[in-house]
Every structure is written in C-alpha cells, then in structure tokens.
Amino acid sequence: MKVLAFAEQRENKLKKSSFETVKAARGIADKLGAEFAALVVGNGVDRIAGELGSYGAGRVIVVDEPSLANHSNTAFSKVVAEVAKKEGATHVFLPASQMGKDIAPRVAAKLDAGLASDCVAMKVDAGEVIATRPVYAGKALVDVKVTTSTKVFTLRPNVFTAVAADGTAAVEKATVALGSEDFGTVVKEVKVATGRPDVTEADIIVSGGRGLKGPENFHLIESLADVLGAGVGASRAVVDAGWRSHDEQVGQTGKTVSPT
C-alpha cells in the first residue's frame, strides 16, 4: 500500500491545512504499514516543499511548472491523479479546503476511486481506514469505509493537529504532460488583503449578522477581530444583502469552520 497527501499552497506558502493533512495521512500510513509521500503543485514551490519534512513527509514530490502558478481545477486534478497513478497510491488525502473540495471529486473520478469528504476523524481497523464525517448539515456523524481499491479522502481544516517536529524531506521533481485544454482563461483576478486569517483556518472567529443593523456597523466586528487576531465571518443574510463578501460567509452555503 502507498499513501499520497496533497499539500496545498497559495502564493508559494504552504497552508496550515496542508500541514494537518500531511501529518494525519502520515499517521494513517504508519498504521497501515504503507509507504508515504507528499505532493506539492505550483510554480516555484520546490523551495517550500522541504517544510513538510517537519510534519512527517520524508519524501516530497514536486510538480513545478510556470503554467501551474494559478489554480486550475482541471490541471491540478490531472496532476494529482497522474502522480497517484505513477506512485501506485492506494490512499490519497487532500485538505477539505476550497481547492481540495474543487479537485477531490475529479481526482476520485480519474482514479475510479471512492471519496470520503470533509472527514473529521480517521482510524485504522483491521487494516481498513475508517473515516468519520458529518451528515445532515453537521447534525450527525457517520463512520464510512471506502470499498474501492483506491480511496480518496478530504480532511476538514482546523480539526487535525499539526505539531512540527524534527525531520527532513527528500524532494523529488516530477512532470505531468499538460495541454491548453487543461486550463481555463483568467478574465480577472481580485486579491483582497485583510491581514486576517481565513475563517476556514482561524482559531478564533468573530461573526456578525443582521443584528448589526447595517454594513456601516461591521467595523465593530472588524475591530474586535483585529484585537483577537481572529477571522471575520458573516451570516448568509448579510451576504445576500450585499453587506459583506461571500468569502466571509459561514455555514452550509458558505465556508465550514472549526474554531478552537
């Protein structure tokens, strides 16, 4: 058996959820007695791949191409699936981030694999991986076992611990053939720099709704969040009203959060 963990990066910085995914996947690999490798995809990412050694990745595969500087679900899912095939991976792990949720179903389809998404706990029982995931909008938890020969899992951010330890990683470069059909056209990209953590990875979230009476009062939420080093969240009602942007929406139709 072989375990492969996809480590997401943004602007050449590995995300917290990537460290959590790598650490958790390595733990599963150890319990299965399986080989383990992590995968980093992007442009200029070879210099950050070694950071994963502190989270249990003794071997890191890097697919580094200028064309992969920006996220493309078609291209990234193809890269992950092709590397998984070349490695003979039986278990593939990704963060249940926006990117992970975007590409995991495509990866599973390309691998003819079953997918257990948004997992909040993992264990090994009699040589089988058992994943715990929420159902009914989080009102219940269910244990699932993926029965296909290749299995794909996404892990909810901010649930699994990722404590760095001494460790080094051997970084290997790999290539995957990509064509123009694997990329869309970027019409416009808008970057918003708030200096606050994304709500999906924030330990503390200050969230507001219609009780604030209007968008002009959200500065109260923002000021408190800045003092606490917290992320800013918003209800669906205020997002629909145009008071706040959708990237702050928390809930079933927004972002799933796990503050500590």
Parallel, antiparallel or unpaired: strands 2-7 and 91-95: parallel
> Domain range spanning residue 204?
192-260
Quick check: helix, strand or coil at residue 142? strand
Are 135 and 197 in a shared domain? Answer: no
Where does a domain end: 134, 150, 182? Answer: 182
Tell me the mean pLDDT per 10 residues along the chain, length 260: 96 94 97 97 94 95 94 95 98 96 97 98 96 93 97 96 89 94 78 80 93 94 94 94 92 85
CATH number of the domain enclosing 151: 3.40.50.620
H-type alpha helices, the chain: 16-32, 46-49, 73-87, 98-110, 219-228, 236-240
* pTM across the whole model: 0.86
Tokens of 176: 């995957």
Question: What pLDDT is attached to residue 224?
Answer: 95
Tokens of 96: 């249940």
Question: What pLDDT is attached to residue 188?
Answer: 74
Are 70 and 134 in a shared domain? Answer: yes
Confirm whether 68 is domain-assigned: yes
Are 10 and 118 in a shared domain? Answer: yes
Are 116 and 225 in a shared domain? Answer: no
Are 27 and 54 in a shared domain? Answer: yes
Are 242 and 198 in a shared domain? Answer: yes
Confirm whether 114 is domain-assigned: yes
Where does a domain end: 128, 151, 182? Answer: 182
Are 103 and 155 in a shared domain? Answer: yes
Are 126 and 7 in a shared domain? Answer: yes
Question: What pLDDT is attached to residue 113?
Answer: 98
pLDDT digits (tens, 9 = 90+) for 169-201: 999 999 999 998 898 877 777 776 678 888 888
Confirm whether 74 is domain-assigned: yes
Are 229 and 171 in a shared domain? Answer: no
Question: What pLDDT is attached to residue 194?
Answer: 76
CATH number of the domain enclosing 196: 3.40.50.1220
| Residues near 241 by beta carbon (within 8 Å), at least 6 away in sequence | 210
Find out whether 230 and 196 touch, Cβ atoms under 8 Å: yes
CA-CA distance, 161 to 3, in Å (whole number)?
19
Give me the number of domains the chain comprises: 2
Question: What pLDDT is attached to residue 190?
Answer: 72
Confirm whether 129 is domain-assigned: yes
pLDDT digits (tens, 9 = 90+) for 15-27: 999 999 999 999 9
Question: What pLDDT is attached to residue 127?
Answer: 94
Where does a domain end: 182, 215, 244? Answer: 182
Are 165 and 217 in a shared domain? Answer: no
Are 153 and 205 in a shared domain? Answer: no
Tokens of 16: 């917290």
Instruction: Give the phi and the psi of residue 129 in degrees, each rounded to 5.
Output: -85, 125
Find out whether 6 and 100 touch, Cβ atoms under 8 Å: yes
| Residues near 238 by beta carbon (within 8 Å), at least 6 away in sequence | 208, 209, 210, 212, 215, 244
Confirm whether 187 is domain-assigned: no
**Residue entry with tokens 């950050």:** 48
Are 72 and 165 in a shared domain? Answer: yes
| Residues near 164 by beta carbon (within 8 Å), at least 6 away in sequence | 19, 54, 55
| DSSP annotation string for 183-250 | ------------SS--TTT-SSEEEE-GGG-SGGGTHHHHHHHHHHT-EEEE-HHHHHTTSS-GGGBB
Confirm whether 65 is domain-assigned: yes
